Chains A and B, each alone.
Chain A
Amino acid sequence: MMAALSTLSGGLRRPLWPRRYLLAAVIVAWVLVWLFVRGQDTLQLGGAELTPLHARLNEGSEAIDNSRNDNPLFLYFINYIRLFLDESITFVQGLISQPSFGRPLPVIGWLGVVAIATAVAWLYGNRKVALLTLAGFVSFGLLGLWEESMDTLALVLAAVALSLLIGIPLGIWAGVNDRFNRLVTPVLDFMQTMPTFVYLAPLTLFFLIGPASATVATIIYAVPPAIRITAHGIREVQPETLEASTSLGSTPWQSLRKVQLPLAKRTIVVGINQTIMAALCMVTIAALIDAPGLGKSVLKALETLDVGTAFNAGLAIVVMAIVLDRLTSAAGRRVETAHRAGRAQKPGRRRIEVAAVLVVTAAAVYLSHVYVWAAEFAGDANVGPYVRRGADAASQWAQDNLFVYTSAFKNLITYSLLNPFEALLTGSPWWLIGIVVIAFAAILSNIRVVIMCAVSLGLLVGLGLWQDTMVTLASTLVATVLVMILGVAFGVWMGRSGRVDQVLRPVLDAGQTMPPFVYLVPILGLFGATRFTAIIAAVVYAAPVAIKLTADGIRGVSSAAVEAATAAGSSTWQVISKVQLPMARSAVTLATSQGLIYVLAMVVVGGLVGAGALGYDVVAGFSQLQLRGKGLAAGVAIVVLGIMLERITRTAARRADTVARGTR
C-alpha cells in the first residue's frame, strides 16, 4: 500500500524542477539562515547535567530495581524464564565445552564436534561446505581456543534456537496478518537500533549475572531478522498461487501449510542465516556481563592493549561466522534446488551416503567421549602464538610508520568536512533543523514520512539531548558518505567481475563480523581518540554491506543492456556511468539506507574511542548510576534518529525505483 501511495504522489507531483535542484535550494537557504541565527536556541546540555526527564527515568529504573523481590512478575515469571535459560545453556555447554556430568571433560570432545558439524554440512549442504566446516572447526583448536569457541558456539546455538522458536511463528503471523505486521515492525526497528549498552546492566537485575542475561541480550538483537524475513517470505508467495489453492477448497490453515510455508522455505533459511550472524555480533558485548567464550578473550586482551591476543580470538569469531554463513546459505540453496528438481538424486544412493556419514560421525563421537586424545585438542598443535605475534607486529608497524600520514588524513577530513558540517548542525537553532529535515522529507518522500519526521524531531527535542544528537548526526552522515564512496567503487568492481567477488567477499565478511574491540587499539594508535576514529570504525563495519548490496545491483543489470552499450562502442567507464550505475540506482539507494543503519549501530562503539555525544552518553549511563536515565534517553535518541533517517532513505529508494521504471 505504501508503494502504491508513493507511486501516486510521485505521479501527481511530476516536479516542475528536478528534485536535485530543490534539495540544493534547501541547503543554500539553510546556510544563509544559519549565518544570521547562528548559536541561538541550540539547546545545549553539559556533560553531567540532567533534564527532569533524565532524573525521572533514573527514578523509574531505581523503582524497578527495588521491587525486584516482591513483584509477582519477577517471582512467578521472569525467575522461571531465567532458570530455563540457564539450564538450557549449561546443558549445551556440558555437551561440548565444559566439564560435566562428573567427567573432567565435556561429553563430546573435539573430534566428535568436528565430525557432527562436518556431517551436518555434508548432509544439509554440499561437500565443499563440509570441507570448509571441517577446516573451520579444526582451526578453533589450532588457534588454541577450542574451549572458548565451544562456549561461544553453545551460547550462539542456544540463542539462535530460541530466537527461531519465537521468531518463525511470529514471522508467519506477521506474514499472514497485515495488522500484526504493522504493529510489530516499529517494535523490531526499536530492538535492532537500541544500543545494547542501554539495557545490558538492567538485564542483569532481571535475569542475574550469567548465561541467561547474555542469551536474552542476544535474542533481543537476533530475533528481529528471523521475524522480518519469515514474514517477507510468506508475503512473497504469488497471490495467484494462493488463489488457486483457495479455489481448490483449501482452508487458510491448509494453504499456509501446503503452499505458503513450502514456498517460503528458502527465504526462511535466509532468515536463519541472518539470525545467526546477528547473534555472533553480540558475542563480545555479552562478555561485559560475564558471558563465557571468545568475547571474554577479546575484552581481557583489550585491558592490556594486547592486539595480538584480541585478534586471535576475533579471528575465531570470524571463522565461526563464515562457516555458519556458508553452511546455512548452502542449505538454503539445496532447499531451492530440491524444490525445483523434485527428487533428482536416486534415493538409494542418497540413503547409503547418509548412512555412511552417520556411521563415521557416531564413531568419532564415541571416540571423543572415551579417549583423551579425541576429547582434548592437543596443546602442541597450537598456532595461536604465531597469529598473535603476527598481528602484534603488523599493528605495531602500522602505528609507528603510518601515524604521520593517517593523522594528516584525519585532520584533512575533520577540518574540511566534519567540523564545518558539525558547526552548521550544532549552530543551527533546533527549529531551523526541523524545517530543513521536513523539507528534505517532503522532497524525497511522501506525506506519511513528513508527519513521522515531525513527530521524531519533537521527540528528539523532548529527550533533552538535542546538541549531542546533532554532533552524532554530523559524524553519522560523514561516515555514510565515506561508506557510499567505498560502496560504489568496490561494489562496481565486484559486480563486474566474479573473481574479484570471490576474493573480496571473505574480507568483507571479516569486516562485518570481526568484533570492533579488536581493531580499536590500532585505529586509536593511527587516528587518536577522535570523532574521526569513530567514523573509521563505523566505515569498517558498514562498508561491507553497502559494497555487497551495490555489487548485487550491478550484477542484476541485464547483460543485454551492457552488451548493447559495448557493441555501440562505449568505453568501460561509459558502460559503468551511463548504463550499470543508473540501472542499479535502487540498489545503490538501498545500500545507502542500510549503510546508514549500520553506521548508527556503531555510535556506541564510537563513544569508546572519542566520538563523544550520544555514544558517550550511552557508555557513561552504563558505567555511572546517576547517568543511567541520561544514557537511556541517549539510546532512545539513537533509535529515533535511526528510524527517521531510514524511513526517508527507504521511501526515497522506492521512489527512485518507480521513477526509473516509469521512464524506461
Chain B
Amino acid sequence: MTVIRTGPPRAIALMVATGLFVSACGGAKVGESPSAAQQTGDAGKKACGAVNLAINPWVGYEATAGVIAYVAEKKLGCTVTKKDLKEEVAWQGFATGQVDAIVENWSHEDLKKKYIEEQKVAVTAGSTGNKGVIGWYVPPWMAEKYPDITDYKNLNKYADLFKTSESGGKGQLLDGDPSFVTNDAALVKNLDLNYKVVYAGSEAALITGFRQAEKQKTPMLGYFYEPQWFLSEVKLVKVNLPEYTEGCDADAEKVACDYPLYDLDKIVSKKFADSGSPAYDLIKNFSWTNDDQNLVAKYISEDKMTAEEASEKWVNDNPDKVKAWLPAS
C-alpha cells in the first residue's frame, strides 16, 4: 500500500493491472480452442510436404498462384510457403534451392538459358493455358473519336496529340516496368514513326497513366499486355502493328512487326520435379483460360478479396476444372 502513496500515475497503473487480472479470469487461454482448426487441417495431410511458391508482383500471377496454393493445401495437404519476389530474384531461387515453382512465366529467354540450359537447376512444367498479348494500346475514348488510330500507319498523323513535356516535340509512347519484354525503341525506328519512347519505369505508372487518360480524356499511347486486371476496369484498345510472322523478331535491332502471342508457362526447380511430390503433378497439370484468371484477378483487385478468399471462391465454383488437375491416384 505504500506504493500508492507515491503518486497518482502509479496508483492508476496498479488499478489497471488489478483490473486486467480480474477481467482475465473469464478469458479463453492461448492454445485451447484456436488450434482445433489446425488439427482438422493436419488430419488430411498426405505425403506432400513443403512447397515454395514464388509470387511475382502482379495480380494475374497472384490469382494463378493463389488457386494452385489453395488446391495444394486443401486437397493434397501440402504446406505452401509463398515468397514475394521479382522475376529475376525468383529464378535465382532455383539455384539456391529456395524456390520450387514459378507459375506464370512470360518468356524470359535469357533466364531460361541461364538456369535451364546452363545451370540445369530448373525445368519447364508446361503451359498455364493463358495466352499473353503484348502491344500498344490507347484508351477507349480515343479509339471511338479517332477510329483509324488503331492502325499503326495512321499513328504519325496523330503524333501531335501525343506530345508531352517528356517527348521532346515528338509523340510519346509510354513504356512500363523494365522487367517486361519490349522492342519498342526498335519498332519506332524501323516503322518510321515520329514518336519517342518514354520509360515510365513501373506498372503503377502505366496503369495510373491510362486511368487518368480515360477519365480526363487526355491522349495516351502506351505499352500494355493481357491478361491484366486493369482491362476489366478500362477496356483499352490495341493498336495493330504489322502482323507477327515466325522469326520476324529474330534480330532485336531490325524488328518491324508486332509482338508474338506468348504462351505463359510454369517453371519448376529440377529438384522439385524429381521429388515425386503430388504438388508437382498438380502444377504440371494446372491449366485454365484467360477468362478464369481475369475472374480471380477481379476478385482480388476490385472486390478486395485476399488471394486465399478469391481462390477459395473460384475453386468452389469450378470443381470439375480442379478435379482434372489432381494427380490420378
- A interface, CB within 8 angstroms of B: 46-48, 65-66, 68, 103-105, 109, 111, 127, 200-201, 204-205, 208-210, 287-290, 296, 299-300, 302-306, 349, 352-353, 355-357, 359-360, 363-364, 367, 369-375, 399-400, 403, 410-411, 414-415, 419, 520-521, 524-525, 528-532, 607-612, 615-616, 619-620, 622-627
Q: Could you list 6 further interchain pairs (A-B, Cβ under 8 angstroms) beyond the known A372-B27, A529-B205, A608-B205?
A: A104-B35, A208-B96, A355-B3, A374-B20, A521-B204, A624-B110
Picked from A296, A352, A359, A419, the residue with its CB within 8 Å of the CB of B165 is: A419
Query: Could you tell me if A299 and B84 are in contact, using CB atoms closer than 8 angstroms?
Result: yes
For chain B, residues 49 to 79, give those with C-beta under 8 angstroms from any C-beta of chain A: 57-59, 62
Query: Could you tell me if A607 and B201 are in contact, using CB atoms closer than 8 angstroms?
Result: yes
Q: Which residue of A lies closest to B99 (CB)?
A: A209
Query: Could you tell me if A364 and B87 are in contact, using CB atoms closer than 8 angstroms?
Result: no
Picked from A209, A288, A525, A609, the residue with its CB within 8 Å of the CB of B202 is: A609
Stretch at the interface among B5-13, B123-131, B154-162, B237-245: B5-13
Query: Could you tell me if B229 and A104 are in contact, using CB atoms closer than 8 angstroms?
Result: no
Q: Which residue of A lies closest to B87 (CB)?
A: A623
Query: Could you tell me if B3 and A288 are in contact, using CB atoms closer than 8 angstroms?
Result: no
Query: Could you tell me if B204 and A524 are in contact, using CB atoms closer than 8 angstroms?
Result: yes
**Distance between Cα atoms of A303 and B208 in the complex (Å):** 11
Query: Could you tell me if A400 and B20 are in contact, using CB atoms closer than 8 angstroms?
Result: no
Q: Which residue of B lies closest to A532 (CB)?
A: B165
Given A306-B304, A528-B212, A529-B200, A370 and B29 contact (CB-CB distance below 8 Å):
yes
Query: Could you tell me if A372 and B59 are in contact, using CB atoms closer than 8 angstroms?
Result: no
Picked from B34, B84, B215, the residue with its CB within 8 Å of the CB of A290 is: B84
Picked from B10, B20, B57, the residue with its CB within 8 Å of the CB of A356 is: B10
Query: Could you tell me if B6 and A615 are in contact, using CB atoms closer than 8 angstroms?
Result: no
Query: Could you tell me if A612 and B87 are in contact, using CB atoms closer than 8 angstroms?
Result: no
Query: Could you tell me if A46 and B185 are in contact, using CB atoms closer than 8 angstroms?
Result: yes
Residues of B within 8 A of A305 (CB): 204, 207-208, 211
Q: Which residue of B lies closest to A356 (CB)?
A: B10
- For the complex of A and B, the 3 pairs showing the least CB-CB separation, nearest first, are A529-B200, A620-B178, A623-B179
Query: Could you tell me if B166 and A296 are in contact, using CB atoms closer than 8 angstroms?
Result: no
Query: Could you tell me if B165 and A414 are in contact, using CB atoms closer than 8 angstroms?
Result: yes
Tell which of B30, B93, B111, B119 has the most Cβ of chain A within 10 Å: B30
Picked from B30, B114, B165, the residue with its CB within 8 Å of the CB of A369 is: B30
- Looking at the assembled complex, report how far the CB atom of B1 sits from the nearest CB atom of chain A, in whole angstroms: 12
Query: Could you tell me if B92 and A47 are in contact, using CB atoms closer than 8 angstroms?
Result: no
Residues of B within 8 A of A607 (CB): 201
Picked from B24, B84, B205, B301, the residue with its CB within 8 Å of the CB of A374 is: B24
**Distance between Cα atoms of A363 and B59 in the complex (Å):** 45
Query: Could you tell me if A289 and B85 are in contact, using CB atoms closer than 8 angstroms?
Result: yes
Query: Could you tell me if B24 and A299 are in contact, using CB atoms closer than 8 angstroms?
Result: no
Query: Could you tell me if A375 and B204 are in contact, using CB atoms closer than 8 angstroms?
Result: no
**Distance between Cα atoms of A357 and B9 in the complex (Å):** 10
Q: Which residue of B lies closest to A533 (CB)?
A: B205
- Looking at the assembled complex, report how far the CB atom of B86 sits from the nearest CB atom of chain A, in whole angstroms: 6
Query: Could you tell me if A530 and B14 are in contact, using CB atoms closer than 8 angstroms?
Result: no
- Looking at the assembled complex, report how far the CB atom of A109 sits from the nearest CB atom of chain B, in whole angstroms: 8
**Distance between Cα atoms of A525 and B10 in the complex (Å):** 51
Query: Could you tell me if B30 and A616 are in contact, using CB atoms closer than 8 angstroms?
Result: no
- Looking at the assembled complex, report how far the CB atom of B11 sits from the nearest CB atom of chain A, in whole angstroms: 9
- Looking at the assembled complex, report how far the CB atom of B87 sits from the nearest CB atom of chain A, in whole angstroms: 7
**Distance between Cα atoms of A531 and B167 in the complex (Å):** 11
Residues of B within 8 A of A374 (CB): 20, 24, 27
Query: Could you tell me if A47 and B24 are in contact, using CB atoms closer than 8 angstroms?
Result: no
Q: What 1/0 mask marks residues of chain B from 274 to 290 whose CB sits below 8 Å from any chain A CB? A: 00000000000000000
B43 lies within 8 A of chain A by Cβ: no
- Looking at the assembled complex, report how far the CB atom of B308 sits from the nearest CB atom of chain A, in whole angstroms: 13
Query: Could you tell me if B164 and A528 are in contact, using CB atoms closer than 8 angstroms?
Result: yes
B38 lies within 8 A of chain A by Cβ: yes
Residues of B within 8 A of A419 (CB): 165
Q: List 12 A-B contacts (CB under 8 A).
A: A204-B92, A349-B6, A352-B3, A353-B10, A370-B30, A371-B27, A374-B27, A414-B166, A525-B212, A532-B165, A610-B198, A611-B201
Query: Could you tell me if A104 and B14 are in contact, using CB atoms closer than 8 angstroms?
Result: no
Picked from A48, A105, A356, A615, the residue with its CB within 8 Å of the CB of B13 is: A356
Q: Which residue of B lies closest to A526 (CB)?
A: B212
Query: Could you tell me if A371 and B201 are in contact, using CB atoms closer than 8 angstroms?
Result: no
Given A372-B30, A400-B215, A620-B178, A287 and B3 contact (CB-CB distance below 8 Å):
no
Tell which of A103, A111, A524, A622 has the most Cβ of chain B within 10 Å: A524
**Distance between Cα atoms of A374 and B28 in the complex (Å):** 10
Query: Could you tell me if B59 and A303 are in contact, using CB atoms closer than 8 angstroms?
Result: yes
Query: Could you tell me if A373 and B27 are in contact, using CB atoms closer than 8 angstroms?
Result: yes
Picked from A529, A532, A608, the residue with its CB within 8 Å of the CB of B198 is: A529
Tell which of B2, B85, B87, B229 has the most Cβ of chain A within 10 Å: B85
- Looking at the assembled complex, report how far the CB atom of B159 sits from the nearest CB atom of chain A, in whole angstroms: 18
Query: Could you tell me if A304 and B209 are in contact, using CB atoms closer than 8 angstroms?
Result: no
Q: What 1/0 mask marks residues of chain B from 10 to 23 whose CB sits below 8 Å from any chain A CB? A: 10011011001100
Residues of A within 8 A of B87 (CB): 623
Tell which of A127, A296, A399, A626 has the most Cβ of chain B within 10 Å: A399
Residues of A within 8 A of B28 (CB): 371-373
Query: Could you tell me if A619 and B99 are in contact, using CB atoms closer than 8 angstroms?
Result: no
- Looking at the assembled complex, report how far the CB atom of B133 sits from the nearest CB atom of chain A, in whole angstroms: 20
Residues of B within 8 A of A622 (CB): 86, 88
Residues of A within 8 A of B304 (CB): 306
- Looking at the assembled complex, report how far the CB atom of B149 sits from the nearest CB atom of chain A, in whole angstroms: 20
